[in-house]
Structure 1
Amino acid sequence: MPGPSECCLRGFEWDGTPIGKEAKLADNNAYITGSNSKIAIMVIADLFGWNTRLLSDHYAKEADATVYLPDFFGGEVIDSEILAEKGPSAFDLKSWVGRNGPEMRWPEILSHDPPLVNCVSTAHPTWLSKEYIDDIGVPVQIVAPEHDETFTPELKKYANDVIPTKGLPYDYQYFSGVSHAFATRGNPKDVKERRAMVRAKNAQVSWMKEWLHGEAIW
């Protein structure tokens, strides 16, 4: 099984052309899509940065929201074609983490007191800690693959033991047979991975509609 650097730097892109626009959100460039002035979703991307634009378009349309996808990585974009050709060794992950890891970027994201979000959905989280789990205070959804070197079996168990004790709505979605990054960078040519990507997207849209609009999809 590949190590954390390999699992993070592997993947495929969705087909299509983004329909949103680029603008500023605070001091960061951002991709913005959708037109609902009352409902907003912030997408915090993985290390491929704000290339998750097509998925953001899905959220905006299907959850009826304006979606903000900030560039929290200072304009750095990982070239997926070079990675596909040369492999993870073509990218200095350690240096990237030093520039863009939680210690550097979390202050730009944090909104805690008063809470400024109504709900959270996270797919195959990286750098999730027990402290973050302990601090959850809004409805939360976790989309978890079977194989994940970062969201380990220990952390999965801790989340499933602790979060239900908080008296908060909690949705744990388990996807067998797929690995870390499947929800954003699975292989659309692989039937199993594509189905998992679509199922994950549908689950997240349903969760966001439930807690942002009060409309569950049944």
Structure 2
Amino acid sequence: MADEENATRAPESDAQEVSGIPGDTRPDQGAASMGEHCTTDRPTPAGQTPTGEMTKFNDIDVYITKPADYPSSPSKLLLLLTGGTGVHSANNQLQADRYAEEGFLVVMPDQFAGNPAPTTTTASGPAEAHPSIIEQVKLGVANVAKAFTIDMWLARHTPEKVLPLLHSVITSVKEEFADAVANGGGIYAVGYCFGAKYVLLLASDLHKDVAAGQRAPEAQAEEGMVKQGPQIKCGVIAHGTQISAEDMAGAEVPMCVVAVEDDPLFPDHIRNEGLEAMKARKLDYEFRVYDGVPHGFAVLGDYADGGIVEKQGEAFEQMLAWLKEH
């Protein structure tokens, strides 16, 4: 396991703005719900165009991208779960293409059923270095409005809604790409931001009523309720949001965790408690905490800061190596 790195404030810390309402606290999540990077794409790298295609599995939009030599050469099946920007984001599609270039057949489902997160971009120009009191009040009101909008959106995309959708796609994938699933000995999964929580849930031995969306994961199970076992073989998560220590503790497959130091959306105490639970259960896992980067840095997209771009590449290589090793 990699050692944690010493953290410094990210040069583009404005990108780490959170959408939590001031003073609002949530169990295990501090004051944050989602941030700019969960809901707004960075500029798409110049000259790059997605090479995969959109299709539908059980009326669910899915982006599929394949290695150039598939099916002539064997491939492994990778389920990619995005942040709030969703399946139609060019950056997310290009991210999926990068895994396909490395030999994975990638399935990226629309886990939001056609309703990606509302953008949190509101600024029309550069921020004032020392805004006036009136401007500060306006900014505060705008942030509360953004928080309310995001929280309303999150209320429509809970595990009870998302898990049945993902299980439906997985059922179709096992039929459509049985060769790739068999070649990898199961389904691999990677999740960014919002999608990270669901990689952990798919890696857990969930009760069947939870998987079917009939009960929240944290709700009390009825005695004798049947479990269904993990749906993936191996998982990777990057700067997750809305993750609890229990989500991490429930994982039963090899897991790689990419995190950001002092990330209010994935607090250190939640991450450390979850990692301790993994260690106690002797789960095969690794983690790295990246410093000097904003939440969401691992998602493909351009930054003016070359240091962030470099660490974005490092994170991809770390995540890719984990998938290939397992």
Same fold (TM over 0.5): yes
Partner of 1:182: helix, strand, or coil? Answer: coil
Specify the alignment match of 1:162 in structure 2. 277
1:1-218 mapped onto 2 (5 Å cutoff): 2-3=17-18, 4=32, 5-7=34-36, 8-9=38-39, 11-15=41-45, 16-35=48-67, 36=70, 38-50=75-87, 51=89, 52-62=92-102, 64-77=103-116, 83=121, 85=123, 92-109=149-166, 111=202, 112=205, 113-184=228-299, 187-211=302-326
Distance 1:73 1:95 in 2: 13
- What letter corresponds to residue 281 of structure 2 in structure 1? K
Distance 1:79 1:133 in 2: 27
- What letter corresponds to residue 108 of structure 1 in structure 2? L
Contact 1:124/1:181 (<8 A) preserved: yes
Partner of 2:299: helix, strand, or coil? Answer: helix
Larger radius of gyration: 2
What residue ranges of structure 2 are gaps of 5+ in the alignment? 1-15, 19-31, 125-141, 168-201, 206-227
- What letter corresponds to residue 83 of structure 1 in structure 2? T
- What letter corresponds to residue 98 of structure 2 in structure 1? H
Q: Percent identity?
A: 25
More strand by share: 1
Q: What is the CA distance between 1:104 and its match in structure 2?
A: 2.0
Q: What is the CA distance between 1:74 and its match in structure 2?
A: 1.7
**C-alpha RMSD over aligned residues:** 2.5
Task: Flag the structure with more relative contact order, 1 or 2, with Cα contacts below 8 A and sequence separation at least 6.
Answer: 2
Q: What is the CA distance between 1:67 and its match in structure 2?
A: 0.4
Deviations 1:10-43 (Å, cap 9, x if unpaired)? 5514321000011123441110001456410001
What residue ranges of structure 1 are gaps of 5+ in the alignment? 212-218
Partner of 2:311: helix, strand, or coil? Answer: helix
The alpha-carbon distance between structure 1 residues 79 and 162, as it changes in their structure 2 partners (threshold 3 A), is: closer
Distance 2:315 2:44 in 1: 14
Distance 2:82 2:97 in 1: 14
- What letter corresponds to residue 121 of structure 2 in structure 1? L
